[in-house]
């Protein structure tokens, strides 16, 4: 219950900000931060709970973005439809990836996801309908009532998706699915022996995680009003999605949220202050420091500093 109240409050705050704040910068920057929260949360379902490292975030994200473009170009359907279509397509890609790679573990799975990313990018480089390598400029339609500007609308939509993603992650974490995934992470054989259907669970986690990443990618073409393969399948998305849970903590659904908020806020700030290579360096150093010194992430540190009895 507390979770729902607080997420309702957070969402209401976002809507309130959209209604009152005139300064668009906060929405542009906030959108990016929220997008990384969704990506990190999605990544953590597979990476954090089940222990499968996914380098293929750009594949799912990019497929979502391109699905949205195709839907928009072919039918001019509204944003919500684009997002749903993107989630379905990327979910299917996740399903297929899960099926194909279900026998793979650890780094093998990670390599497979790199391969999926390269193949997806090659596919869209060669597909002229979505502009191919030259990219495609899109004319944004007018924002839907009650929004006055498109970016506040995108911001609120992304805020809603963030709440949804966190709720899904939380449900998975606290239900039998999460227990099963954790069992897989600790020992796949033991999980299998104790009657956990590891295969189904893994494919499920892969599909859900992919679908969420796709949904996060769907509004991107409208955010940029432009799409092009090289930047859509950019490694940055993989870095952000992987680093955030490592920094925040992988065990709890709040971990990736905290990590993503901190990491992408730092990146946004560094971009408009120091403005240099340090941006990438920040991620690298934080990542190494946290996995070495604080394997449980920020949440783990907090737990260590303020020990609390389990309720």
Partner 1 sequence: MKFQKLLMAAVGAFALSSAALAQQPIKVGMSMPQTGSLGAGGKAALVALQMWVEDVNAKGGLLNRKVELIAYDDQTNPALTPAIYTKLLDIDKVDLLIAPYGTVPTAPIMPLVKQRDLLLMGNFSFQVNRTVKHDKWFNNSPWNDASSWSDGFILNAQKLGSKTIAFLAADQEFAQNLANGARELAKKAGLKTVYDQNYPPTTVDFSTMIRAIRSAKPDIVFVMSYPNDSVAIVRAVNEIGVGESVKMFGGGMVGLQFTPIMSTLGSMLNGIVNYNSYVPGMKYPGIEDFLSRYAKKAVEAKVDPLGFYLPPFNYAIGQMLEQAINATKSLDHKVLAAYLHKNEMKTIVGPIRYGPDGEWANPRVVQAQFRGIVDKDIEQFRQPGKQVVLSPDAYKTGDVMAPFEKVRK
Partner 2 sequence: MIFSFELLLEAVVFGILLGCFYAAVSIGLSVSFGLLDVPHVAHPAIMVFGAYCTYLLGQYGFDPILAGIVLMPPFFLLGMGVYRFYYETFEKRGSDAGVRGIAFFFGLTLIIEVGLILVFGVDQRSAEAPYIGKALSLGEMRIPWRFIVSFGVALVLMTALTLYLSKTFTGRAIKAVAQDEGALRLMGADPVWIKQWAFGIATAVSALAGAMLIIVGPVEPSLDRVYIGRTFAVVVLAGLGSMTGTLAAGLILGISESIVLMHFGASWAPAVAFGLLLVVLGIRPQGLFGR
Which parts of this chain interact with partner 1 (CB under 8 A)? 23-25, 27-29, 32, 122, 125-126, 132-135, 137-140, 149, 151, 220, 223-226, 228, 230-231, 234, 236, 268, 271-272, 275-277, 279-280
Nearer Cβ to partner 1 (29/205): 29
Q: Does 5 bind partner 2 (CB under 8 A)?
A: no
Kindly state the smallest distance separating residue 258's Cβ from partner 1, in Å.
21
Count of residues near partner 2 by CB under 8 A: 46
Give the separation between CA 183 and CA 195, rounded to whole angstroms. Answer: 11
H or E stretch including 136?
strand 136-137
CA dihedral 295, 298, 300, 306 (to 10 degrees): 150
Q: Residue 224: what are its φ and ψ, rounded to 5°?
A: -90, -15
Nearer Cβ to partner 2 (36/150): 36
Q: Does 235 bind partner 2 (CB under 8 A)?
A: yes
| Partner interacting with residue 164 (select from partner 2, partner 1, none; CB below 5-8 Å by kind) | none
Find the binding residues for partner 2 in span 94-153 (CB under 8 A).
100-101, 103-104, 106-108, 110-112, 114-116, 118-119, 121-123, 125-126, 133
Work out the angle at residue 209's Cα, subtended by the Cα atoms of residues 61 and 46, and round it to the nearest 5 degrees: 125
Kindly state the smallest distance separating residue 50's Cβ from partner 1, in Å.
28
Q: What is the DSSP string of 140-193?
A: PPPPPTT-SSHHHHHHHHHHHHHHHHHHHHHHHHHSHHHHHHHHHHH-HHHHHH
| Partner interacting with residue 271 (select from partner 1, partner 2, none; CB below 5-8 Å by kind) | partner 1
Nearer Cβ to partner 2 (261/287): 287
| Partner interacting with residue 143 (select from partner 2, partner 1, none; CB below 5-8 Å by kind) | none
Give the separation between CA 229 and CA 227, rounded to whole angstroms. Answer: 7
Query: What CA–CA distances, in Å, run from 302 to 29, 248, 250, 299?
Result: 27, 10, 14, 5
Under 8 Å between Cβ of 18 and 156: yes
């Amino acid at each position: 219950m507390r979770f729902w109240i607080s997420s309702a409050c957070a969402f209401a705050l976002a809507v309130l900000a959209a209604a009152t704040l005139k300064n668009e910068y906060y929405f542009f920057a906030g959108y990016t931060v929220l997008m990384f929260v969704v990506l990190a949360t999605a990544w953590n379902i597979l990476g954090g709970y089940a222990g499968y490292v996914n380098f293929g975030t750009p594949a799912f994200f990019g497929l979502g973005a391109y699905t949205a473009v195709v839907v928009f170009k072919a039918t001019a359907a509204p944003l919500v439809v684009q997002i749903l279509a993107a989630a379905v397509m990327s979910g299917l890609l996740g399903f297929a990836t899960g099926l194909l790679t279900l026998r793979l573990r650890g780094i093998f799975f990670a390599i497979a996801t790199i391969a999926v990313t390269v193949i997806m990018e090659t596919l869209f480089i060669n597909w002229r309908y979505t502009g191919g390598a030259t990219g495609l400029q899109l004319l944004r339609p007018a924002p839907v009532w009650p929004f006055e500007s498109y970016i506040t609308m995108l911001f609120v939509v992304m805020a809603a998706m963030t709440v949804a993603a966190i709720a899904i992650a939380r449900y998975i974490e606290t239900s039998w699915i999460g227990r099963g995934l954790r069992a897989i992470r600790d020992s796949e054989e033991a999980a299998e022996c104790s009657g956990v259907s590891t295969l189904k669970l893994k494919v499920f986690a892969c599909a859900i995680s992919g679908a969420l990443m796709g949904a996060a990618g769907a509004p991107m073409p409208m955010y940029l009003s432009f799409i092009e393969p090289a930047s859509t399948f950019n490694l940055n998305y993989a870095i952000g999605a992987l680093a955030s849970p490592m920094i925040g903590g992988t065990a709890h659904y709040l971990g990736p949220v905290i990590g993503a908020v901190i990491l992408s806020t730092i990146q946004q700030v560094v971009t408009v202050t120091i403005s240099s290579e340090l941006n990438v360096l920040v991620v690298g150093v934080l990542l190494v420091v946290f996995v070495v010194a604080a394997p449980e992430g920020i949440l783990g540190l907090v737990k260590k500093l303020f020990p609390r009895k389990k309720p």
